[in-house]
């Protein structure tokens, strides 16, 4: 008898254990060292050559195979089947798909945690309006179909409307403005409708007292909420983000309730990331914690192969700051991959610095590279890097207590 994993499965080895990635059910199954060794040996030998099937000691091995068969993960064969290698998707050069443009570092808020350290006094914007206009065209030619205007506060940038019109003329499929919404008036609402602009904004509490303590702008809650109501009344697509820090950690449930009452899709609350003014331990919440990474993990054929070659989130994205720096993500402020004032976008996209960011997979990340879940586990590089004392790009996240060298999950509840 021969035994093989089905063709819709991939076996992934960790330092100690293994995992079966099943593209049919979309599940990832953890297996121990013995099971891993057995499946490995069964690739080339018959089951009888691997174990004595008549020995009562091996009953559990046969039960394991039955279980795999029953779950649809493996099959027994009388004759030796051909070793079929699952087709890998063709390698394609990753293209630009998403562009953030940080129009200005100026802001009328001065949020405690702001990664771009924005405030009303910032005066270091360098990209000219003409350059933003040509960048929008060039990025679209390079493949970008989505664009987000962000900052600082993008509505403080005088030519933002013209940039939106340009993006529409170029044919971007998705245009979003990420704004604190305090400056949105009726003419903006009309413009958003006309130009099919999506809006994203941020709420830190369900009351002015706490929200304004985060933004350091008295009256900001009232202005933001007025805009939110108008946007919703007009049916403009709206996303609301919420970042939790010490100053608003008691507001987490209230924020979720407020978003539900408004009928806005609840996005997961995120904790402040250690970048810009946010790089301050004093800001960290004491009680509110985001859930630790833990099983179950899920997979698909596409995600599995993508995770082996590219970063699950960064690939295809760039952010251009108001000084012209190109970074792989708005949070990855130390990873400058070029500057559009010094080089063409095309050259930066072809450059090794950006390629390195886009192709950082968990095979490069400390500890994760030895973990059997590495092609199914989400990764946020800027967050892991920001929390690392030496700011290592390949640092492992603090949000995982798994030890792939012992197979033990620790501190599962420490952060919850
Ligand atoms: C920098 S703001 C720019 C857009 C606009 N001014 C606003 O606040 O909505 C974009 C988003 O990043 C979030 N943000 C800023 N600094 C952060 C940090 N250190 N960690 C996590 N999110 C942060 C803000 O709360 C906001 O939701
Ligand atoms: S988070 Fe947004 S609103 Fe707050 S200071 Fe930064 S850019 Fe301004
Ligand atoms: S974070 Fe790393 S070590 Fe933890 S489960 Fe994911 S891949 Fe494994």
- Taking only the tens place, the pLDDT of each residue in 19-48 is 999 999 999 999 999 999 999 999 889 999
Q: What are the pLDDT digits (tens) for 57-90?
A: 889 999 999 999 999 999 999 999 887 777 777 7
Pick the residue whose CA is nearest to atom 6 on ligand 3: 377
pLDDT band at 225 (very low <50, low <70, confident <90, very high): very high
263, with CB counted inside 10 A (0-12, 13-18, 19+), is exposed
pTM for this predicted structure:
0.92
Average pLDDT over residues 245-269: 91
Q: Mean pLDDT over all residues of the chain?
A: 94
- Classify 394 as helix, strand or coil: coil
Note the pLDDT of residue 140: 98
> What tokens does 127 get?
């990209």
pLDDT at 413 over 60: no
Report the Cα 357 to chain-centroid distance in Å: 13
Per the CB < 8 A criterion, the answer to whether 160 and 175 are in contact is no
Pocket flag, ligand 2, residue 324 (CB < 6 Å): no
- Residue range 300-306: average pLDDT? 94
Q: Please, what's the b/e burial string for 373-388 (b: 16 or more CB within 10 A of its CB; e: otherwise)?
A: bbbbbebbbbbbbbbb
pLDDT in tens, 141-160: 999 999 999 999 999 999 99
377 lines ligand 3 (CB under 6 A): yes
Q: Please say whether the beta carbons of 4 and 81 come within 8 A.
A: yes
d(CA 297, CA 409): 14
Please give the average per-residue pLDDT across 248-275, as a whole number.
90
CA of 256 to the centre of ligand 3 (A): 28
pLDDT of residue 90: 77
CATH architecture of 98-290+315-358: Alpha-Beta Barrel (3.20)
Residues 316-375: pLDDT tens digits? 999 999 999 999 999 999 999 999 999 999 999 999 999 999 999 999 999 999 999 999
Of 336, 328, 317, which is closest to residue 382 (Cα–Cα)? 328
Give me ligand 2 centre to Cα 221, in Å: 13
Ligand nearest to the CA of 113: 1
113, 114, 156, 211: which to mutate for ligand 2, most atoms within 8 A of CB? 114
| Ligand 2 atom with least separation from CA of 119 | 5
Pocket test for ligand 1, best of 120, 241, 270, 290 (most atoms within 8 A of CB): 241
Mean pLDDT of 125-147: 98
């Amino acid at each position: 008898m021969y035994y093989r994993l089905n063709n819709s499965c991939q076996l992934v080895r960790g330092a100690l254990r293994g995992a079966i990635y099943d593209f049919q059910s979309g599940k990832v199954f953890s297996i121990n060292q013995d099971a891993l060794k057995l499946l490995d040996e069964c690739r080339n030998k018959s089951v009888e050559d691997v174990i004595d099937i008549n020995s009562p000691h091996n009953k559990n091995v046969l039960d394991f195979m039955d279980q795999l068969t029953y779950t649809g993960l493996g099959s027994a064969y009388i004759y030796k089947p051909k070793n079929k290698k699952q087709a890998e998707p063709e390698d394609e050069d990753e293209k630009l798909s998403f562009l953030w443009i940080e129009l200005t570092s100026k802001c009328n808020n001065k949020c405690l945690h702001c990664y771009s350290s924005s405030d009303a006094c910032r005066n270091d914007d360098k990209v000219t309006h003409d350059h933003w206009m040509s960048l929008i065209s060039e990025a679209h030619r390079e493949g970008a179909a989505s664009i987000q205007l962000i900052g600082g506060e993008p509505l403080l940038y005088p030519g933002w409307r013209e940039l939106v019109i340009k993006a529409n003329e170029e044919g971007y499929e998705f245009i979003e403005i990420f704004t604190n919404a305090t400056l949105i008036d009726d003419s903006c609402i009309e413009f958003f409708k006309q130009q099919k602009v999506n809006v994203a904004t941020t709420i830190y509490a369900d009351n002015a007292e706490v929200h304004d303590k985060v933004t350091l702008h008295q009256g900001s809650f009232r202005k933001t909420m007025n805009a939110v109501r108008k946007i919703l009344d007009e049916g403009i697509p709206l996303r609301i983000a919420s970042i939790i820090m010490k100053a608003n950690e008691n507001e987490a449930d209230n924020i979720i309730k407020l978003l539900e009452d408004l009928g806005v899709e609840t996005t997961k609350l995120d904790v402040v990331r250690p970048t810009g003014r946010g790089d301050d331990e004093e800001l960290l919440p004491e009680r509110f914690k985001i859930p630790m990474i833990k099983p179950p993990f899920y997979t698909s054929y596409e995600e599995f192969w993508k995770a082996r070659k590219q970063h699950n989130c960064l690939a295809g994205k760039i952010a251009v700051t108001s000084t012209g720096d190109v970074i792989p993500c708005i949070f990855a402020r130390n990873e400058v991959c070029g500057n559009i004032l010094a080089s063409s976008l095309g050259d930066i996209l072809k450059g090794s610095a950006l390629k390195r960011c886009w192709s950082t997979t968990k095979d490069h990340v400390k500890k994760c590279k030895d973990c059997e879940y590495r092609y199914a586990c989400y990764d946020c590089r800027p967050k892991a890097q920001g929390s690392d004392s030496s700011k290592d790009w390949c640092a492992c996240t603090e949000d995982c207590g798994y030890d792939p060298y012992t197979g033990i999950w620790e501190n599962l509840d420490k952060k919850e």
